[in-house]
């Protein structure tokens, strides 16, 4: 009996350090996990504060304004969350006009006398003019500057094309009178300097709206 009690005491003396080590390991692991989680929460909390601050700054600097759904005879589709907009209209009895315009995609440095260096913001524009019941399309590839429109290419193609259309010459290679006539052709359909001014003002507002939308989606994702 005495031998049995001694063995039990010896076993307990061996087990106790092991239990202590296991408890210490579990506590350390939990502590490390807790610290990691706290750091993660602190980082995400700081990031959320920065995002909210940026949203507030944009909203204060550029107060939200309603994007108009029409310009003259054009219906304006804002295309929320996308990098472009679309304008559509009918012209006379047999034409439909579709104008696709990107957000600002480039800039050109300009030095103004007596002022610091400024930039002209650039917009890419594609004008499609559909005529009659057929599927023929007249397509203009253009640049839109703050108060002017510049034609780069003019295509004629089928609406349901399977390959590249005949590209034709560079617009600047055309006869000067033909160039003027094609500009007048667009101007008659409302695609002119006034439209360029409208587009730049509209796209400035959309650019800020898309920035806020992006930050709101980012905030929502991180905050989950």
Phi/psi class of residue 221: alpha, beta or left (left: φ > 0; alpha: ψ in -120 to 50)?
alpha
Q: For residues 212 and 168, which has the higher predicted lDDT (pLDDT)?
A: 212
Radius of gyration of the chain (CA): 33
Mean pLDDT of 108-129: 79
Q: Is the pLDDT of residue 161 over 70?
A: no
pLDDT value of residue 218: 81
* Chain CA centroid to CA 4, Å: 80
pLDDT value of residue 75: 97
Alpha-carbon separation of residue 155 from 17, 37, 141, 161, 163 (angstroms): 86, 60, 8, 12, 13
Q: Among the listed ranges 57-61, 141-145, 208-212, 218-222, which one has the minimum average pLDDT value?
A: 57-61
Secondary structure letter of residue 169 according to DSSP: S
Q: For residues 174 and 58, which has the higher predicted lDDT (pLDDT)?
A: 174
Q: For residues 119 and 222, which has the higher predicted lDDT (pLDDT)?
A: 119
Q: Smallest Cα–Cα separation from 106: which of 91, 123, 87?
A: 123
Binned at pLDDT 50, 70 and 90, residue 82 comes out as very high
Binned at pLDDT 50, 70 and 90, residue 28 comes out as low
Architecture of the domain whose range is 70-216: Roll (3.10)
Q: Is the pLDDT of residue 74 over 90?
A: yes
Binned at pLDDT 50, 70 and 90, residue 203 comes out as very high
As a dihedral over the C-alpha atoms of residue 84, residue 89, residue 95, residue 99, rounded to 10 degrees, the angle is -20
Mean pLDDT of 83-102: 95
Query: Which phi and psi (to 5°) does residue 192 adopt?
Result: -150, -165
Give buried/exposed letters for 91-129 (b at 16+ CB in 10 A, else e).
eeeeeebebbbbbbeeeeeeeeeeeeeeeebbbbbbbbb
Mean pLDDT, all residues of the chain: 79
pLDDT value of residue 220: 79
pLDDT value of residue 139: 93
Alpha-carbon gap, residue 95 to 90, rounded angstroms: 6
């Amino acid at each position: 009996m005495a031998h049995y009690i001694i063995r039990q005491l010896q076993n307990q003396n061996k087990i106790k350090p092991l239990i202590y080590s296991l408890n210490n390991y579990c506590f350390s692991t939990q502590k490390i996990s807790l610290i990691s989680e706290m750091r993660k929460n602190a980082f995400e909390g700081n990031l959320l504060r920065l995002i909210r601050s940026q949203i507030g700054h944009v909203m204060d600097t550029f107060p939200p304004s309603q994007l108009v759904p029409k310009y003259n005879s054009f219906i304006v589709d804002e295309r929320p969350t996308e990098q472009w907009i679309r304008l559509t209209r009918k012209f006379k009895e047999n034409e439909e006009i579709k104008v696709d315009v990107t957000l600002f995609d480039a800039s050109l440095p300009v030095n103004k006398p007596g002022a610091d260096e400024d930039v002209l913001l650039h917009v890419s524009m594609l004008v499609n003019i559909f005529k009659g019941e057929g599927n023929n399309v007249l397509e203009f590839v253009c640049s839109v500057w703050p108060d002017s429109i510049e034609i780069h290419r003019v295509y004629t193609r089928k609406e349901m094309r399977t390959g590249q259309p005949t590209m034709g010459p560079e617009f600047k290679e055309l006869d000067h009178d033909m160039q003027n006539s094609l500009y007048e052709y667009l101007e008659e359909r409302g695609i002119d300097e006034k439209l360029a001014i409208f587009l730049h003002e509209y796209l400035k507002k959309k650019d800020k709206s898309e920035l806020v939308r992006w930050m709101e989606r980012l905030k929502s994702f991180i905050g989950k």
